[in-house]
């Protein structure tokens, strides 16, 4: 009869049970380490793999939000370092501004993209397809655009151009607050959608 077991017998049973299960757990942990070491031996970076695995546990919406927030913060600190804001970040920043502008009027003719064309880039052998413009000029243009009420979408520089990120940073630097005391674009919003089983991971 089980209920008659002395506390000591119960304890021994639980301890043995725990030891067995913990051994399994440790074995599983070692399997994981081994797999990671295998990936490393194949030339992949373990740290980046960990990051990727963590990201894959999130929903695409959560992933986008995180990247957007991170980029917005980095832009505000002047640390974009050549990479333009992701689209989600632009959407957030613009959304906030729109909510400010909306009551009055729609934002008029936004950015007639200046006559800069991506231009040739006929044979950019090892370099990036960059133009000759100084990114600092682009940063100043971004500041001016923000001061003039232009939207973050009005960045005229093409992809791959360091000026694009510099313009973004300049815009973020000068953009006025929308009057709200809390900068909505800097906050998290999305909630993990109630943990249903149908997983919506990124494709593999």
Residue holding tokens 């400010």?
A: 100
By the 8 A CB rule, do 56 and 127 touch? Answer: no
Find all residues with CB under 8 Å of 202, minimum gap 6, and list them: 56, 60, 63
By the 8 A CB rule, do 63 and 57 touch? Answer: no
- Of 22, 134, 137, 200, the residue at the interface with a second copy (CB under 8 A) is 22
Give me the least distance between CB of 65 and a second copy, in Å please: 9
The option from a second copy, DNA, none interacting with 37 (CB < 5 to 8 A, set by class) reads DNA
Please say which residue, 9 or 70, places its beta carbon nearer to DNA: 70
Dihedral sign computed on CA atoms, order 97, 99, 101, 102: positive
Task: Enumerate residues 29-88 that contact a second copy by CB under 8 A.
Answer: 29, 31-32, 35-36, 38-39, 42-45, 47-49, 51-53, 55-56, 60, 63-64, 66-67, 69-70, 73-74, 76-79, 81-84, 86-88
Closest to 136 in 3D by CA, of 163, 174, 168, 175: 163
The option from a second copy, DNA, none interacting with 155 (CB < 5 to 8 A, set by class) reads a second copy
d(CA 166, CA 171): 9
Task: Enumerate residues 165-194 that contact a second copy by CB under 8 A.
Answer: 172-177, 181-188
Please say which residue, 32 or 153, places its beta carbon nearer to DNA: 32
196 binds a second copy (CB under 8 A): no
153 binds a second copy (CB under 8 A): yes
By the 8 A CB rule, do 170 and 140 touch? Answer: yes
């Amino acid at each position: 009869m089980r209920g008659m077991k002395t506390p000591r017998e119960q304890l021994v049973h639980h301890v043995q049970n725990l030891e067995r299960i913990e051994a399994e757990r440790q074995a599983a942990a070692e399997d994981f380490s081994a797999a990671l070491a295998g990936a490393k031996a194949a030339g992949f970076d373990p740290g980046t793999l960990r990051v990727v695995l963590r990201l894959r546990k999130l929903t695409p919406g959560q992933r986008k939000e995180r990247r957007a927030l991170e980029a917005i913060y980095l832009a505000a600190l002047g640390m974009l370092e050549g990479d333009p804001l992701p689209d989600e970040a632009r959407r957030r920043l613009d959304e906030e501004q729109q909510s400010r502008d909306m009551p009055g009027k729609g934002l008029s003719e936004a950015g007639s993209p200046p006559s800069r064309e991506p231009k040739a880039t006929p044979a950019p052998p090892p370099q990036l397809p960059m133009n000759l413009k100084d990114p600092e000029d682009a940063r100043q243009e971004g500041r001016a655009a923000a001061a003039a009420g232009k939207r973050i979408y009005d960045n005229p520089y093409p992809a791959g151009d360091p000026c694009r990120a510099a313009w973004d940073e300049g815009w973020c630097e000068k953009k006025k607050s929308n009057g709200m005391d809390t900068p909505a674009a800097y906050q998290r919003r999305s909630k993990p959608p109630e943990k249903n089983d149908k997983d919506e991971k990124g494709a593999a």
